[in-house]
Amino acid sequence: MKCHPKAIWFLGVLISFLPLTGCLNEGTVVEDGTQADIEPAPPDSGSEEEPTPDPNTVVCQPFVQLAATEEPRTQGVYSQLFYLDSTQPQYTSVADYIANGHKVEGIDIYFNQLHIPTRPWDRGFITQSGDPIYTQNGDFLYEWFAMRFKGKLTLAVDQPAGDYQVSLLSDDGAVWRLDLNGDGIYEVVVDNDGTHPTRMGCSNDRVHLEPGVPIDFELDYYQGPRYHISLVTLMRPYPTMGIDLVDPLCGQQGNSLFFDKKKSPPMAKQAYNDLLSRGWKPLATGNYLLPSDIHSNPCNEPAPIISDYMAESVLSTNVELSWNTDRVASTQILIREVLTNVQSQTAVDPLMTKIHQVNVTGLKPNTVYGFTAKSVSVSGRETLSEELVIKTAR
């Protein structure tokens, strides 16, 4: 028989409830805990219908510190990572990085949008399990790397069908290719290659977009020496007047030209605001879909939902707790000694599962504790349960 938050019964013993000021309304107090019947947990059926990505292999939004999003799983941009070692030339073309660099195997990188205003960056690439990515020589990877972004360019719900012009800001080089005819042949629409501070590269091509008819794209980008990064994709309705086709800022560059990199987050400066006034808009999340061979973005998901949180057993120095989540997530308990408000926590069990069990040990006999279940999804979305207040056995 299990101890439920609303009413807890032990075998043959009616357990009384004690009100505690400051506890959550849903919390339950168990007085004089004794051994409860333990029903064995069913076999772990906690895997998703689709294979759940290993958090050791997933990197979400490495350049921008954003909260996890609830965009659809089909939304986003997928990327592969390449780097140069210390024996290789410091190339000045992204094609050389891709062709000659070392591909980082077993790591999948996801973005919601390519909107990285100019900023200092030395954080490196961190997986969802919290592990940095290193080169084969053990060096922290934050410079002399390239990325190949893949996805589909599509109209957002508020954008009309028509011809569009695209451009990008990048530090260092970037080359954007689109499959304009849907025949698998990618054409360069923006060539902003080379080692340079944040520079605007523009296209004169017409890109015709219809609702529900996305265009496959590849965008290659490289970062040479560290200190600053930038990558912002932009789009505007194709100018009706030829004189307006070449924006005055096309080809202009400077790490302080478009954004104030000293602000966190970087603040738009007059040049960037001038682009907006001429119809340019940064591509939003609604403009990106994953490529056809990538079926799901693990960085896009709602937070886990915790259910059936209960005490399986209550002894003098340990309490066994269990709960379920609607999606696979990690397992941890936050502990609060109610009288002193001293707080602690169990170690995180990183095993991603839907069925969670924790045996909390080292407790004091005859002491009231608050226990909060914590589960974190693969994408880093976190959920806390209501606090379950329990008095350990004498």
Residues of the chain with CATH 2.60.120: 55-289
Q: What is the mean pLDDT of the chain?
A: 86
Query: Which is more confidently placed, 51 or 36?
Result: 51
Cα gap 21→11, rounded to integer Å: 28
Tell me, which fold does domain 55-289 have in CATH? Jelly Rolls (2.60.120)
Q: Write out pLDDT tens, residues 264-316.
A: 889 999 999 999 999 999 999 999 999 999 988 888 877 889 999 999 999 99
Q: What tokens appear for 71 in the block? A: 């965009």
Model confidence over 362-388: pLDDT tens digits? 999 999 999 999 998 876 778 999 999
The first and second tokens of residue 296, run together, are 């799901």
Q: Is the pLDDT of residue 37 over 50?
A: no
Residue 152: CB atoms within 10 A of its CB come to 20
Contact between residue 118 and residue 261 where contact means Cβ atoms under 8 Å apart: yes
In which band, very low, low, confident or very high, does the pLDDT at 70 lie, cut at 50, 70 and 90? low
Structure token pair of residue 248:
């005055």
> b/e for 277-306, b at 16 or more Cβ within 10 A?
eebbebbebbbbbbbeebebbbbbbebbeb
Q: Which of 61-65, 154-158, 184-188 has the lowest mean pLDDT?
A: 61-65
Q: Which of 288, 90, 347, 86 is nearest to 195 (CA)?
A: 90
Record: fold of 9-47+301-391:
Immunoglobulin-like (2.60.40)
Beta bridge partners of 103: 82
Q: What is the pTM of this model?
A: 0.71
Q: Give CATH 2.60.40.10 domain extents, the chain.
A: 9-47+301-391
The token pair that represents 72 in the structure block: 């659809």
